[in-house]
């Protein structure tokens, strides 16, 4: 799954075709899922552009998201999410009528659940607090539907510790609004914590109390630990049908070990 985040970083159709050809030659089971933010201007035009590629490559999939405000212009932030999602989903299911269409639920879980019941698209959750509640909410509206989950992960080697996992995840975790509010409410200096993680060597100097609070938060947002710990985490996700993992350490061994546990 490719998430370009900024519109300027979207793969051109030529670049995407090169990638699809390459992965098809490498392994017929490999699928490339491209992420499109529906609030980006020209998002529908980009999706329409995927139609010709989809005719030639069965290994192309689509993930639609509302888009994080960080990666949107001021005008894009004001665009109507529900209306744009509905339009994009209707277009996507025509083009990708014989494969999965994922739709991110962040901030729009009710809308996406209803679209899932109507169009058989796949709600795509992020590993986050209240995950079980979110799964229940989707199942209430779309009982027998498929659910997908994105989770960052880090499988520890002998030299690793919880701190290693936290350092790898820090940027991702600390930009989440609820994490910032939670840390402040617990009496921790958010700016100080952020500065310590930016200079990774200083992270071990963090106060024990802050470290304990952060460990709790980071475990809500990801899966990290040894193989047994990872396996236990995944056991709790039985109601999730598709898990898309992002290796916090970009090594082939991480991907292989995670696949083994799945």
pLDDT over 70 at 205, yes or no: no
* Residue scoring higher pLDDT (207 or 66): 66
Q: Kindly give the residue spans of alpha helices, DSSP state H, lying in the chain.
A: 13-26, 43-56, 74-77, 81-95, 109-119, 131-141, 162-174, 177-185, 190-198, 208-221, 227-235, 252-261
Percent of the chain scored above 70 by pLDDT?
95
Query: Tell me, what DSSP letter sits at residue 147?
Result: -
- Tell me what pLDDT residue 27 has: 86
pLDDT over 90 at 191, yes or no: no
Chain position carrying tokens 């009710």: 110
* Residue scoring higher pLDDT (18 or 203): 18
Residues found in the chain: 262
Nearest in space to 194 (alpha carbons), one of 172, 211, 170? 170
Band of the pLDDT at 244, cuts 50, 70, 90? very high
Neighbouring residues of 62: CB distance < 8 A, sequence distance ≥ 6: 33, 34, 36, 47, 50, 92, 95, 96, 101, 102
Band of the pLDDT at 177, cuts 50, 70, 90? confident
Strand pairing class (242-247; 32-37): unpaired
């Amino acid at each position: 799954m490719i998430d370009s985040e900024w519109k300027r970083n979207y793969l051109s159709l030529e670049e995407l075709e090169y990638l699809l050809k390459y992965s098809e030659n490498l392994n017929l089971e490999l699928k490339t899922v491209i992420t499109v933010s529906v609030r980006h201007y020209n998002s529908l035009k980009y999706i329409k552009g995927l139609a010709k590629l989809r005719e030639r490559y069965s290994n192309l999939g689509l993930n639609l998201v509302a888009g994080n405000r960080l990666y949107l212009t001021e005008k894009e932030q004001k665009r109507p999410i529900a209306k744009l999602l509905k339009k994009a989903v209707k277009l996507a299911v025509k083009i990708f009528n014989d494969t999965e269409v994922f739709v991110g639920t962040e901030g729009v879980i009710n809308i996406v659940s209803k679209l899932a019941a109507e169009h058989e698209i796949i709600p795509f959750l992020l590993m986050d607090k209240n995950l079980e509640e979110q799964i229940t909410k989707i199942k209430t509206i779309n009982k027998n539907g498929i659910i997908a989950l994105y989770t960052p992960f880090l499988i520890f080697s002998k030299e690793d510790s919880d701190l290693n996992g936290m350092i790898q995840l820090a940027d991702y975790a600390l930009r989440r609004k609820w994490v910032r509010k939670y840390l402040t409410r617990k009496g921790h200096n958010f700016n100080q914590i952020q500065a310590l993680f930016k200079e990774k060597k200083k992270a071990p100097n963090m106060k024990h109390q802050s470290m304990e609070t952060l460990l709790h938060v980071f475990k809500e947002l990801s899966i990290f630990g040894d193989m047994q710990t990872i396996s236990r985490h995944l056991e709790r996700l039985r109601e999730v049908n598709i898990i898309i993992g992002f290796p916090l350490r970009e090594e082939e061994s991480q991907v292989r070990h995670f696949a083994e546990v799945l």
